[in-house]
Chain A
Amino acid sequence: MKIDSIQDGVVLDHIKAGKSMDIYKYLHLDKLDCSVAIIKNVRSGRLGKKDIIKIDSPMEVDLDVLGYIDPDITVNIIRNGVRVEKKHLALPEKLVNVIHCKNPRCITTAESQLPAIFLLSDAQKRSYRCAYCEAEKTRRV
């Protein structure tokens, strides 16, 4: 794949420099068959340096996961070599199976098949609480 020319795919832009591998992991991009380019430390006016991920497949990106990791990332949808949509992210109100509760007294640590549900508790602090035990988790990525 030529990095500049995706035909049908997704470009994740304005990733904080150094964070692209976390996103690769959270979005399970290792499971994809198509080519995925991770471009690190690109010079950018806004952030100084940034990372970019280009995915050469018209996949549905989990915007909730991305919004949780970093709501400043922009998601560009490419069709026939042209950007058809630019999505801005928001902190999701609810996260399902994105992060997991570390509270040893929580029912989700005893019964791991339960969906891990977190609810946004403080948007400024970007903190979430486990819907079961209310243990707090502040965005760490």
Chain B
Amino acid sequence: MRNLIDVTDLSVAEIDELIATAEDMIAEPDKYAQVCRGKQLATLFFEPSTRTRLSFESAMLSLGGSVLGFSEANSSSTAKGETVGDTVHTVSCYVDIVAMRHPKEGAPYAAAQYSEVPIINAGDGGHNHPTQTLTDLLTIHREKGRLDNLTVGFCGDLKFGRTVHSLVNALSRQKGINFVFISPEELKMPAYIKENTLDKNGLSYEETASLEEAMPKLDILYMTRVQKERFFNEADYIRLKDTYVLDPEKLETAKKDLCILHPLPRVNEISIAVDSDPRACYWKQVKNGKFIRMALIMKLLELQL
């Protein structure tokens, strides 16, 4: 039995396989409409995230399966002091697969020790969110036709942004990736990622505070939001959140085939005027998120067409 706790639980070949399945699902969704008939997915959201939960539920429904679950810890047994292991163990007696989100880091790893069915980590605090990374990879692949030999810019909160860390990690396993890290001094990429993931693998990266300077060379621009809850000080937050706002003017020097990604929700870091630019791919990304989750559910349930 396989779980997906961290995106590196999957090999590069397995990720390629998931992307291929998802692309086939996008091309011919009807083929997959009954694959999960009779199967149940539980979405256990100990912390609410409507967007991620609905993506999982829509994925399972599109495969012909059914869904049940809860959102918010206080509506569940956790409020009565039950451990995450016991809650997940109980639910795993009813269903075929579990997608869980939890505010504590490592909770899905703990749950997986007690579960009788595959666990998908749908986000554990600021730690991992592997299905977002798979979504990002699928989107890059659909837009560029490849995952290697790309110049990828990451902009915004690179210190706390888990989606950024996880995507850097996943892309570091590809050939010929040039990383460009664009952030204010306070929100730079942590040293352990530069040392353990990039330096160790001999990968090149550059760091800059200027989005304008980086723009012309980018194939991919991954924007992130600066999250208020990461700051102790309101003034710091207000100052930093407006550092990088992507607007049509900044895009003037960008490549014609730049691909702009954002894990959403956005606050103000991408102006709405950019939405109509063909290079804006973040709404496609949302759509892709459902298909990669469909492919993942099929894989973890070991189902074939």
Contacts and interface: CB of A to CB of B under 8 A. Distances in A.
A118 to B, nearest CB: 12
B127 A134 contact: yes
A105 B109 contact: no
B106 A131 contact: yes
B105 A133 contact: yes
Interface residues of B, number: 17
Interface string B121-144: 000111100000000000000000
A135 to B, nearest CB: 8
Interface stretch (A22-30, A39-47, A71-79, A108-116): A108-116
Contacts of B102: 107
B74 interface: no
A106 B84 contact: no
B264 interface: no
B110 interface: yes
Interface string A69-108: 0000000000000000000000000000000000101111
Contacts of B106: 106-108, 130-134
Nearest to A117: B109
A105 B110 contact: no
Contacts of A108: 106, 110
A67 B203 CA distance: 33
Which applies to chain A's interface (DSSP): helix, strand, loop or mixed? loop
A107 B192 contact: no
A107 B121 CA distance: 14
B192 A132 contact: no
B104 interface: yes
B83 interface: yes
Contacts of B104: 105-107, 110
A89 to B, nearest CB: 25
B60 interface: no
Contacts of B103: 105
B83 A103 contact: no
A107 B102 CA distance: 9
B141 to A, nearest CB: 27
Contact of A132 (B83, B110, B126, B196): B110
Nearest to B107: A107
A136 B105 contact: no
A17 to B, nearest CB: 32
A136 to B, nearest CB: 7
Interface in B71-121: 83-85, 102-107, 109-110
Nearest to B109: A132
B105 A131 contact: no
A136 B84 contact: no
A131 B112 CA distance: 12
Contacts of B85: 111, 114
Nearest to B83: A111
A105 B105 contact: yes
A136 B196 CA distance: 12
Nearest to A115: B113
A113 B105 contact: no
A130 to B, nearest CB: 7
Nearest to A122: B196
A131 B109 contact: yes
Interface in B157-192: 192
From B85, B102, B105, residue with most partner A Cβ within 10 Å: B105
Given A133-B105, A136-B192, A107 B126 contact: no
Nearest to B104: A107
Given A106-B104, A131-B109, 4 more contacts: A105-B126, A106-B105, A107-B124, A113-B83
Interface of A: 103, 105-108, 110-111, 113-114, 121-122, 130-136
5 contacts: A105-B103, A105-B127, A107-B110, A107-B124, A108-B110
Interface of B: 83-85, 102-107, 109-110, 124-127, 192, 196
